[in-house]
Amino acid sequence: MKQCELNTNVDAKSFLEIEISKLDARILALNLSKPALRALIRLNVYSLLDLG
């Protein structure tokens, strides 16, 4: 079984943690899971306005 990249790549994990901290407070208030937040980042969605 392949191991998750975030468990083996410290730089990627640090980058994503920094990016998560940049998300709009309203998105963070939704208490989404880390995979969901990472998906938003990969789609360049950092605020609710980015969805529109």
What is the spatial distance between Cα 14 and Cα 40, in angstroms, rounded to a whole number? 16
Which pLDDT score is estimated for 52?
83
Closest CA to 26 of 46, 42, 40: 46
Residues 6+ apart with CB under 8 A from 48: 24, 26, 27
* Per-residue pLDDT reduced to its tens digit, 9-50: 888 889 999 999 999 999 999 999 999 999 999 999 999 999
For residue 9, what pLDDT is reported?
Answer: 81
Task: Copy the structure tokens of residue 37.
Answer: 């937040």
Q: What DSSP designation does 47 have?
A: S
pLDDT of residue 8: 75
Of 32, 19, 23, give the one whose Cα is nearest residue 6: 19
pLDDT at 45: 97
> Rounded to an integer, what is the distance from CA 24 to the centroid of its chain?
11
